[in-house]
Amino acid sequence: MRDVAALAGVSLKTVSRVINGAPTVDPALTDQVRRAAAVLNYKPNLTASSLRRRDGRSMMIGLMLEDIANPYSSTIYWAAEVVARGLGVGLLAGSIEEDPASTGPPGTSPPTPSCATTGPEPRKASGT
């Protein structure tokens, strides 16, 4: 944002107000800032801006999938990410385990991921 402000010849606060859509910014200044942002290919950092929002909204969506490594779940994740990006929000995703027997009490080893590849034991080299 500092680079945009310097190129547009305005204050950092003016850039912030333009990016956040404040209606009180002079239209000529808004154009200057938007042109500078376009020249610099500036994209707002959604994560950083969500930390300072006054309305308490994080601009993040949480998505829980059975197993994010599963091809079906990862396709759902990808589609949700495309939509979220189009809406200007971030996406956090995680996997849940539906098999209660695979989870243990706190402090125990985590279960083997359901996406782990299993198969026969590797063959030993002959003569060893």
Q: Please tell me if the domain spanning 1-44 has the same topology as the one spanning 46-101.
A: no
* Structure confidence by residue, pLDDT tens digits, 27-76: 999 999 999 999 999 988 766 666 666 666 777 888 999 888 888 999 99
Predicted confidence at residue 118, as pLDDT, reads 35
State in words which class domain 46-101 has: alpha beta
- Residue 67's pLDDT is 84
Q: Which is higher by pLDDT, 73 or 112?
A: 73
**CA gap 114, 93 in Å, rounded:** 17
- Most confident range (mean pLDDT) of 1-5, 47-51, 60-64, 106-110 is 1-5
- Match 């190129």 to its residue by tokens: 7
* Strand-pair category, 90-95 with 60-65: parallel
pLDDT of residue 102: 53
Specify the CATH class of 1-44 in words. Answer: mainly alpha
Q: What ranges do the domains of the chain cover? A: 1-44, 46-101
